[in-house]
Structure 1
């Protein structure tokens, strides 16, 4: 179902699934052009700016695509939701896996980009695998809450899109966290996606293992577990009413 869902997102277009690569790739190129060529950004952490930017943009692209795609999981499969014999609870997971296909391709692209600049990740690829699992877990627990809410409040997907536009600037993706005073930095770290972004950069640029920050790791998984608990409770309570409103 995830494979079919991925293909159906681009059915009818001439380039088909290539648009899944072209669109986020163009976003990265635009940001690179603005900051590298326009603002003449200097190397960050002793690596070219493009490497520093891609290390954050690749996981962020998966996060945004996974959240937006999964928010409409139940409404886009309304014909399935009304069939009691189908396990409706699988639909958000179908959407997340669909987005994960594209994420795999972009992670390979990320490795190629780093290798072309003589920064092959090496053993740190294990950290990238772990961070992808973290990101998959975070998107999944959010997907169950947002997709359930979207059944009863159809403006959810539009609101999520706006929040993600703010999120890319509130997360240290295009800017360095060093610009934030130390006493306020903890606020930025409350955002669970910070753990992923920082982990990617630590692994690929600083050769730092994911377990080098145990407090952040415990905080991240604590947040995922709490969100997951409330999301699944919310889904179970609202599931019997799906057929009435879809």
Structure 2
């Protein structure tokens, strides 16, 4: 495994090039171009905010802020998994023609989505400041940590779905349906206090639950995430990363033939 990691690192320039190409090509030809990085999540926030604050009347102070803080990380995770499921097939010509560590493709895709999330956090900090909610500087160092943990989780799952989709094309559609349900099982639009106590353990099986809780702790409640929350999210992310990396290595041998 260490030898493979060294080989992937040797292709860091290729990863950088693919990330740049993905970021430039994502909105190429559109009138608003890179502004869609901000428009897409803003539209989702407006819709969910209207539904849950007006219709369902979720009793969370400054709900739009609570929603914004949770939605930006979710958009990154959703993009990484859904787009990651087809990233190998999208680069079929390159996979067939030249040799390189195939892990470079999902790494590049998830990294480009991660860069988009970092840029989208301009919206998060803008909403926090405009709302007058304020930021606790003492807990801000936890923010890069939870971002890295989420990146590792997204990359691990992207390894799995990108490799399996090469052999089982229906997984692309299954992932789309799964992600639509997954957002409602993640405390983005509600607090965990809304979940009956006897069901909370089931919600904590969701690897995104402690991650979103940590984002809310840092930016909404302005407290440090609990040690349990950080350990659970960190260990779960490492588990999926090792699992995904191992599975990808087993399946990538026949990518060219299957594509």
Is residue 22 of structure 1 aligned with residue 39 of structure 2?
Answer: yes
Structure 1 contact 69–99 (Cα < 8 Å) conserved: no
Is residue 239 of structure 1 aligned with residue 252 of structure 2?
Answer: yes
Q: Cα RMSD (Å) of the superposition? A: 1.7
| Closer/same/farther in 2, CA of residues 39 and 89 from structure 1, 3 Å limit | closer
Which stretch of structure 1 is more off in the superposition, 166-175 or 225-234? 225-234
Over residues 185-242 of structure 1, what are the superposed CA-to-partner deviations in whole Å (9 max), with x where a residue is unaligned?
Answer: 11111111011110111111222213xx223322222222222222122111111100
The 2-side partners of 1:201 and 1:224 are apart by 19
The 1-side partners of 2:30 and 2:164 are apart by 30
1:17 is paired with a residue whose SS is helix
Q: CA deviation at 1:166?
A: 0.2
Q: 1:119 is matched with which residue: 122, 128, 133?
A: 133
Q: Which runs of 5+ in 2 are unaligned?
A: 1-17
Q: 1:144 is matched with which residue: 147, 150, 159?
A: 159
The 2-side partners of 1:101 and 1:229 are apart by 23
Q: CA deviation at 1:41?
A: 4.1
Q: 2:237 is matched with which residue: 224, 228, 245?
A: 224
| Counterpart residue number, 2:214 | 199
1:120 is paired with a residue whose SS is coil
Give aligned pairs, total. 241
Q: CA deviation at 1:40?
A: 4.4
Is residue 153 of structure 1 aligned with residue 168 of structure 2?
Answer: yes
Q: So what's the TM-score if we normalise by structure 2?
A: 0.87
Over residues 27-63 of structure 1, what are the superposed CA-to-partner deviations in whole Å (9 max), with x where a residue is unaligned?
Answer: 1111112223344444x2xx31111111211111111
